[in-house]
Structure 1
Amino acid sequence: MRRFAVALPVAFQKAAKQLIPAERYFDDPIATLAYGTDASFYRLLPKLVLRVESEAEVVTLLKLANQHKVAITFRAAGTSLSGQAVTDSVLLVLGENWQQREVRGLGEQIRLQPGVIGAAANSVLTKFQRKIGPDPASINSCKIGGIVANNASGMCCGTAHNSFNTLAAMRLVLFDGTVLDTEDSDSVASFRQSHASLLADLALLAEQTRQDEELCAKIRHKYRLKNTTGFSLNALTEFTDPIDILIHLMVGSEGCLGFISAVTYNTVPDYPHRASGLLVFPSVNECCQAVPVLKQLPVSAVELLDRRSLRSVEHKAGMPEWVKQVSEGACALLIESTAVSAKVLQQQLAELRAVVQGFTLEQQVDFSTDPKVYNQLWAIRKGTFPAVGAVRETGTTVIIEDVTFELSQLAAGVARLQQLFAKYRYDEAIIFGHALEGNLHFVFTQGFDDPAEVKRYASFMQEVTQLVAVEFGGSLKAEHGTGRNMAPFVELEWGQAAYQLMWRLKKLLDPEHILNPDVVLSNNPQLHLQNLKPLPATNPLVDKCIECGFCEPVCPSRNLTLTPRQRIVTQREISRLQATGEDAVRLKALNKAYQYAGNDTCAACGMCSTACPVGINTGDLTRQLRAENNRRWQGLATFLARHFAAVSAMARFGLNTGQHLAKMLPGWHRAMPTAMPTAIATATPNVKRAALHKKNPALKPVIYLASCSSRVMAPQANSQDSRSLMQVSTDLLAKAGYQLITAPGLAEQCCGMPFLSKGQLAAAELKQTALNQWLLQTSNWGQIPIYSDSSPCSLTLQGKLDPRLTIIDSVDFLYQQVLPKLSITPQSEPVALHISCSASQLGQAATLKQLTAACTGQVVIPEGISCCGFAGDKGFLLPELNASALSGLAAQVSKCSRGVSTSRTCEIGLSQHSGIEYQHLVYLLDKCAR
């Protein structure tokens, strides 16, 4: 095997710098650390990270790598669990320009670029009642490139619907930079001519494989099971055309045989009607004996959960009380059935119930079509993995292994795994999995900071691999890919003949061994015990992070600086270096870089917590760090909090003055040399002074809690509706019979968020205490309800005020109290809806959609924008964060007449970057409620 130089060749670096712009070329300590981490328990620091945005860049870089013998690793979302997406050489990370998708016919096929998130692919297929076959648990975060490269599957996918078996076509780039598109006849013809020798060698290998009866039998056996260990040798037995062989070898190749730049799937039905039930058996044996019976019935998923899995979630809110009482040896099956119609579903359920009556059960939740019931059941299943992660000891990692047994051996396999857990004292280990395929996941916690712990893990894995691969003839990796984790055991599972065949394929398609070396195939028997990721304690707010990367798609700074996962990774390394005292130079560099990349550009919006399996809000960490960094400003913050009305008045004066200057001297703000004047000036074309309007003594009283942003900033100068938010809210609610009261003293009130976001916790508490007292007095000690016009304020105040107070956010009040009393005339033009991060965390997404849909038949919700990145005043002070978060907005809303949201500051940035005006939802409702 070729050994690579410690340092990258200067000629390669120079050529890469000429090709990749500086903002996408990373070789600094913080970027290489951040990208050196994926969801696995391995870490390697790349020497160079390049964010690639086109196939042409990949082609050139592969040619350079081949020329200079530089190892290349490809990375999509980095949710890989087996160490496939880390390297100590050059890492090519997919940028944002790999999002193209094309639906064919009535959804029977879909062509996707590798940067498309799996859930986004399914979203465009929903109207056709179709979906892609693979359904990995990480589908909301992982990307098509990784799904195909790892041949990922999932709960309902089985083997029939994985990428290998639903692949229709592929566009790929080989090690030498050659592009092949199997949907382009010219490309295929050209490739057959230019790479005739390669295709002949593939055809010969396939023919030799088919003539080896023993090898063919092993391949057939292996792929009757779920199996992603090693390369896809079934490509050699199931296809004769070397082009077909080639593209199917790419499936599951983990970036070791080439780069996948587009894939076309044959989609599968996504039936709209579903029901789920839970069966609890008194023993593992009885549970597993039921699986082959269920496999013959109309079920789409059967998930096994052992007693420890149930115990890990039994204390969670909403869990049935009886979960705590099931016997020690119990084992459960969560079953789902789906159908094209309600009638067919009921027929299927009748068949299932008849069979279930023959089982001996401890407990049962009958099959239900009620979303509340079946969502709760699936919460049990989905909560098991994060539950182990949440209780692990700080400093340990969570390992999830992924094996397959023959169905006939499933009960024995579970029992033997449990014996190994006991032998090696993995007392917290749980087993769950996709029972229909004999695919089991087992999860346990493991520390790697003690040589004795590493030895325990090594011995345990040695026995696990022997048990699964040799004794039971199963698969060591069913759906998580081989990676570095199982590379040393590929020969153990497959035998020498198949293993050497894989090496021949590697040599044929990557002769210089530059593509992801040591992944899938390795000559290093200790590879799985090397480069183990440290997880030192850094802060209790984030210590439970398992670095899965699920948070990244919803982070507004993901394309500008760091993601929540990367912020935590960096803080952990900073804490480690501080504790050990090693490499003071690196520590200083990380601290310095983190100020902008980690602290300043964090929106602290909390969206990461909505996607995190263990509920971590990295924004809390950011606010705490800001509090530590900004202690010298505590006195000023307290002064501003005590004189808030004057501060607001100054802000209104500044914005009003800026507006007049903008009218007299267009573009004057662009000449301002300092950050703050430029920020104010940039805002002035979009905002003007908002005046408090007088209260109307009629109708049913409701206290109006107007946010400071809505009090300071009115609609943009050329707005479709120039009324203040206060005025339009009063007008609209009056139509429904409510009187909004703007009580004296409102100008002094604030929810505290402007201070919280900067880490000024004392000033924030001061404002919240004052607001609490003011609201009690103005609401007659809670007798009058309070209407909050801004989702960020409503979220900030959640759980912070006197329980006698009834604060209702505008979205909920409009939906529950106002809409039913209005006569709405919908408009014909499409409307763009921005569900702000605060509204999302308040659980208002569905409500917002319904309110907007009442006013238009065409609600457009832009994909990939969960937080606008304006983040209070960061849109003024760090406009690049807002611009990055909304970079894909304009193209998605170009046909919309207007946009709606529930936060005034969000609306400023949304209007600036969309080309249409965004206003609070009340403007649209008031327009349509004639």
Structure 2
Amino acid sequence: MSLPAAFLAAVERLIPQERRFDDALSTLAFGTDASFYRLIPQLVIRVESEPEVVALLKLASAERVPVTFRAAGTSLSGQAISDSVLIVLGDNWNGREVRSQGLQVRLQPGVIGAQANAVLAPFQRKIGPDPASINACKIGGIVANNASGMCCGTAHNSYHTLAGIRLVLADGTVLDSEDPQSVAAFETSHAGLLEQLAELGRQTRANSALAAKIRHKYRLKNTTGLSLNALVDFDRPLDILNHLMVGSEGTLGFISAVTYDTVHDHPHKASALLVFPDVESCCRAVTVLKLQPVSAVELLDRRSLRSVENKPGMPEWVKSLSNGACALLIESRAASQSLLHEQLTQIMASVNEFPLEKQVDFSEDPAVYNLLWKIRKDTFPAVGAVRQTGTTVIIEDVTFPIEQLAEGVNRLLALFDKHHYDEAIIFGHALEGNLHFVFTQGFDDPLQVARYSAFMDDVAQLVAVEFGGSLKAEHGTGRNMAPFVELEWGADAYQLMWQLKRLLDPQGILNPDVVLSEDPDIHLKNLKPLPAADAIIDKCIECGFCEPVCPSKGLTLSPRQRIVMWRDIQAKKRAGEDTTALERDYQYQGIDTCAATGLCAQRCPVGINTGDLVRKLRARTATHQGSATWLAEHYATALKGTRLSLMAVNTVRKVFGAPLLAKTSAGLRKVSGNRLPQWTPAMPQAVKPISINPPVSDARPRVVYLAACVSRAMGPAAGDDEQMPLLDKTRALLEKGGFQVVFPDNLDNLCCGQPFASKGYAEQGEGKKQELINALLKASRGGLDPIYCDTSPCTLRLLQDGLDPRLKLFDPVKFIREQLLDRLDFQPQDKPVAVHVTCSTQHLGEAQGLIDIVRRCTSQVVIPEGIHCCGFAGDKGFTTPELNAYSLRDLKSAVQYCEEGISTSRTCEIGLSQHGGIDYHGLVYLVDRVTRAKH
């Protein structure tokens, strides 16, 4: 059913066009969340303020238009999709307020969970919920799903740590539980609603059987249905309402802010792995550990261990475990090391009587406990990585009473066998009896859908009826378990949930068919297709973990959305449909605005680099092979041309002034159809060709200096306080450190090949890379001398796909860290310095190294939050400047108190200087300024 004309007209007046989406590409891209369901919204609205939400809900209520709220879209049960109106959070929902030295924190719904913990970290506090998706999911989703995690249990979830909430009801009314005026106004305007809530509470508490059942259900981890515990835990109707919102999955209202009571984040921790010979002894040990000072106990069945045993870095002993083995990964945390050691002794003594097949003792060594947790965290991706193309990965989430955990595990294993889910694995948060089981499922065949249906019926009967457990422990009911809510809860509790829904959402406009549905087959409808599209991306499970680090998310598409759209285009092509319009839109939104820096791969559970797909697609339209070959063969000429162009532009600036040049440049860019680059005051001046002295024989150690193309062409901007080119500054610092600096022969003709590869000219890029490697071998005397590359992207390019093992290649961070720190005396300055960690520095594993070096140089280090990639991407800052501008839209406010910024890529520094309002330089400028040579 199409949306009412009156609603659409009112929305057009309320929301600017750039925040309304109804085109085929955008609606499909937003119609995807992390679940295995898909609905295509008719309209997507990006909201930036609470008044907009209020107005939209009033319009939706008046016109009876269903709406669904979306935070990060990492939910797994179909909570965040709609075939009507999808309301997504924009940038302006990121507010946070730390109170009482971190004892409380007030957060808006757009704050990512990990960001909340980052602002609490200085106080050694954190929010209670700790979902596995905490680096991507947002507070709005965490509260709305009552998400928990590995250490959270039931005591520290959103429900139990809620100190205050601000919400918008279906009729557009705002209630802030921490604002006495708001509360008083609401008590007047909604007295009838509050009295009905109070009466439902009284009736529930008076029904001893129902009240006992509710208390039992929430003794366990449980997110099935609405939070009925609010009716037995509280008698004040406002408290009931506030706690009903937790876990309501957007079906009762919109959460616009929440205040948490925080929990301790103890700094000292240790982990151990105990492997038991069978499930029974493993689960008996869990009941013992429940009474010990443990923060997490994760169960891993033999299938889950087998799924990761061949992954790189896994210990060999994993392969030799018996078929019945079952492991516990145990973590303990404490405020002091001595207390931690006491706890570890106590924990091990408690399980001393149990026979063990393998034991990895408690360790505080990060290398050891990170490896142990890698075993646990790699299990889910391991299943996803081996699944058949076209199938999806389903992760279910149940709770058994802990005293029946062993029987529950074995019964689940039997169901896997019965329904032929041979690849299924079990792992989970054993202390709470909370098990996740992961399996692969195809939905393109009615027989496969029938198999899934029969399996879920059996699971529901086993968990909810036979064991009295929870069908959804922490992933939310969604539409996945909505048909089974009554089976788990019984008729009385189920009808009570419907009473609450109709009381708070009388027209049923808030997220219909989620949590509660009158359709018994809703969990078998609107199943998401995952068609084959390209081997690079076919393993994508559309979880959205990649999205927070993508510079184009919100401007155009995120990596997840790029994959969704390319899958759809390929499926439509195979079906004989015309995809011309979609591909035209995809060219800009999917290909042209992708930075292709690969940060998404670092966050992806199965390691997908969406940039690899984009480069492959660019190669299809890379039709200037002859020009690319000529350029590769005459690179010194091209570099000279770049210098001449920069000199010419700088001459114009001197004659006509920067304002006129900027205005003229903008006009020319517009006339050229955005093909000409935009001049800005951050544009570099030309660098004079380097003067290279022949090596001399002396006692100093040699270093080969590989100056990147940009360093050889682009100097500081005219207005920069630092006017010495990076080449000269680097050479001076290396010589200060006692090195003799030598250069490769024919330097101006050398290039790592990145400019070619990023444009789709892989052959020319590889040729330039090999030419450079040969020159470096010669310059380093066969690898005898270290090689310093002054730009981190070029270093990464050379190291990717393997470098000649004879070469010892360093980016600026690694060389300074390993070769210069002991040769220099640091005299730190007392001025704040902003640090931008480039994508390549992150890939090289030198992010912390860069930050540590800057901390040696100054006591005030500023790392802007949320800027993972600057979006300059080599030359995108010139050709697609809107990507750079969007990525750095919050930079200026974050660095306004700094006098300079530091990075390790000359092109990134151009965009950072332009949008940050301060000069960004290479790391060597700062290090050189605050050091002197040791004698």
- TM-score normalised by L of structure 2: 0.97
Measured on the aligned residues, the alpha-carbon RMSD in Å equals 1.2
AA paired with 2:394? I
Superposed, which structure 2 residues align to 1:250-329 within 5 Å? 250-329=245-324
Superposed, which structure 2 residues align to 1:217-236 within 5 Å? 217-236=212-231
Query: Which residue of the partner structure matches residue 194 of structure 1?
Result: 189
Q: 3-state SS of the aligned residue for 2:624?
A: helix
Query: Which residue of the partner structure matches residue 907 of structure 2?
Result: 905
Matched, 1:649 2:640: yes
- Structure 2 residue corresponding to 1:468, chosen from 458, 463, 484: 463
Query: Which residue of the partner structure matches residue 492 of structure 1?
Result: 487
Q: 3-state SS of the aligned residue for 1:715?
A: strand
Q: 3-state SS of the aligned residue for 1:449?
A: coil
The CA deviation at 1:147 is: 0.0
Partner Cα separation in structure 2 for residue 10 and residue 195 of structure 1: 31
Partner Cα separation in structure 1 for residue 830 and residue 205 of structure 2: 62
The CA deviation at 1:657 is: 1.2
Q: 3-state SS of the aligned residue for 1:106?
A: helix
AA paired with 2:687? A
Partner Cα separation in structure 1 for residue 398 and residue 682 of structure 2: 60
Superposed, which structure 2 residues align to 1:404-419 within 5 Å? 404-419=399-414
AA paired with 2:909? E
AA paired with 1:747? D
Partner Cα separation in structure 2 for residue 595 and residue 504 of structure 1: 49
Partner Cα separation in structure 1 for residue 76 and residue 682 of structure 2: 49
Superposed, which structure 2 residues align to 1:70-109 within 5 Å? 70-109=65-104
Query: Which residue of the partner structure matches residue 668 of structure 1?
Result: 661
- Structure 1 residue corresponding to 2:896, chosen from 894, 897, 901: 894
Superposed, which structure 2 residues align to 1:119-138 within 5 Å? 119-138=114-133
In structure 1, the gaps of 5 or more residues are 1-5
Matched, 1:619 2:611: yes
Partner Cα separation in structure 2 for residue 414 and residue 493 of structure 1: 19
Q: Deviations over 1:661-712 (max 9, x none)?
A: 1222232232244437985451465311112443464632211111111111
Matched, 1:837 2:834: no
Matched, 1:208 2:203: yes
Partner Cα separation in structure 2 for residue 52 and residue 684 of structure 1: 34
AA paired with 2:561? Q
Partner Cα separation in structure 2 for residue 20 and residue 838 of structure 1: 38
Q: Is the 8 A contact 1:659 1:685 kept in 2?
A: no
Superposed, which structure 2 residues align to 1:705-716 within 5 Å? 705-716=706-717
Q: Is the 8 A contact 1:658 1:680 kept in 2?
A: no
The CA deviation at 1:830 is: 1.2
Between 633-642 and 505-514, report the one with greater CA deviation: 633-642
Superposed, which structure 2 residues align to 1:320-469 within 5 Å? 320-469=315-464
- 1:377–1:800 distance in 2 versus 1, CA, 3 Å: closer
Q: Deviations over 1:3-28 (max 9, x none)?
A: xxx10011111111121111111000
Matched, 1:758 2:751: no
Partner Cα separation in structure 1 for residue 739 and residue 904 of structure 2: 20
The alignment of Structure 1 onto Structure 2 pairs a total of residues equal to 921
Q: Is the 8 A contact 1:658 1:681 kept in 2?
A: no
Q: Deviations over 1:367-393 (max 9, x none)?
A: 111111101000000000000000000
Partner Cα separation in structure 1 for residue 112 and residue 682 of structure 2: 37
Partner Cα separation in structure 1 for residue 553 and residue 237 of structure 2: 40
The CA deviation at 1:781 is: 2.4
The CA deviation at 1:804 is: 2.1
Q: Deviations over 1:631-652 (max 9, x none)?
A: x211111111111111111111
Q: 3-state SS of the aligned residue for 1:682?
A: coil
The CA deviation at 1:780 is: 2.3
Between 413-422 and 856-865, report the one with greater CA deviation: 856-865
Q: 3-state SS of the aligned residue for 2:361?
A: strand
Q: Deviations over 1:849-900 (max 9, x none)?
A: 1111110112111111111000111101111000111111111111112100
Q: 3-state SS of the aligned residue for 1:598?
A: helix
Q: Deviations over 1:474-527 (max 9, x none)?
A: 000000000000000000000000000000000000001000000000000000
Partner Cα separation in structure 2 for residue 730 and residue 259 of structure 1: 58
Query: Which residue of the partner structure matches residue 3 of structure 1?
Result: none
Between 772-781 and 406-415, report the one with greater CA deviation: 772-781
- Structure 2 residue corresponding to 1:609, chosen from 595, 601, 616: 601
The CA deviation at 1:782 is: 2.2
Query: Which residue of the partner structure matches residue 150 of structure 1?
Result: 145
Partner Cα separation in structure 1 for residue 288 and residue 350 of structure 2: 8
Q: 3-state SS of the aligned residue for 2:120?
A: helix
Query: Which residue of the partner structure matches residue 685 of structure 2?
Result: 688
Q: Is the 8 A contact 2:537 2:563 kept in 1?
A: yes
Between 345-354 and 392-401, report the one with greater CA deviation: 345-354
- Structure 2 residue corresponding to 1:917, chosen from 913, 916, 919: 919
Between 472-481 and 818-827, report the one with greater CA deviation: 818-827
Partner Cα separation in structure 2 for residue 294 and residue 880 of structure 1: 54
- TM-score normalised by L of structure 1: 0.98
The CA deviation at 1:800 is: 4.7
- Structure 2 residue corresponding to 1:634, chosen from 601, 625, 629: 625
Give the % identical residues. Answer: 63
AA paired with 1:312? S
Partner Cα separation in structure 1 for residue 662 and residue 918 of structure 2: 22
Between 702-711 and 771-780, report the one with greater CA deviation: 771-780
Q: Is the 8 A contact 2:678 2:878 kept in 1?
A: no
Query: Which residue of the partner structure matches residue 58 of structure 1?
Result: 53
AA paired with 1:402? D
Query: Which residue of the partner structure matches residue 534 of structure 1?
Result: 529
Q: Is the 8 A contact 1:304 1:333 kept in 2?
A: yes
Q: Is the 8 A contact 1:683 1:876 kept in 2?
A: no
AA paired with 1:276? S
Partner Cα separation in structure 1 for residue 612 and residue 764 of structure 2: 17
The CA deviation at 1:801 is: 3.9
- 1:683–1:636 distance in 2 versus 1, CA, 3 Å: farther
Partner Cα separation in structure 2 for residue 657 and residue 408 of structure 1: 79
Partner Cα separation in structure 2 for residue 744 and residue 357 of structure 1: 67
Matched, 1:805 2:807: yes
Query: Which residue of the partner structure matches residue 795 of structure 2?
Result: 794
Between 456-465 and 670-679, report the one with greater CA deviation: 670-679
Q: Deviations over 1:225-275 (max 9, x none)?
A: 000000000001101111111110000000000000000000000000000
Partner Cα separation in structure 1 for residue 581 and residue 459 of structure 2: 42
Partner Cα separation in structure 1 for residue 816 and residue 655 of structure 2: 40
Q: Is the 8 A contact 1:152 1:480 kept in 2?
A: yes
Q: Is the 8 A contact 1:656 1:684 kept in 2?
A: no
Q: Is the 8 A contact 2:682 2:913 kept in 1?
A: no
Between 694-703 and 312-321, report the one with greater CA deviation: 694-703
AA paired with 2:629? T
Q: Is the 8 A contact 1:669 1:678 kept in 2?
A: no
The CA deviation at 1:777 is: 2.2
AA paired with 2:664? A
Query: Which residue of the partner structure matches residue 115 of structure 1?
Result: 110
Partner Cα separation in structure 1 for residue 366 and residue 682 of structure 2: 47
Between 144-153 and 847-856, report the one with greater CA deviation: 847-856
AA paired with 1:638? T
Q: Is the 8 A contact 1:894 1:915 kept in 2?
A: yes
Partner Cα separation in structure 2 for residue 381 and residue 120 of structure 1: 23
Partner Cα separation in structure 2 for residue 588 and residue 706 of structure 1: 44
Between 334-343 and 701-710, report the one with greater CA deviation: 701-710
Q: 3-state SS of the aligned residue for 1:328?
A: coil
In structure 2, the gaps of 5 or more residues are none
Q: 3-state SS of the aligned residue for 1:854?
A: helix
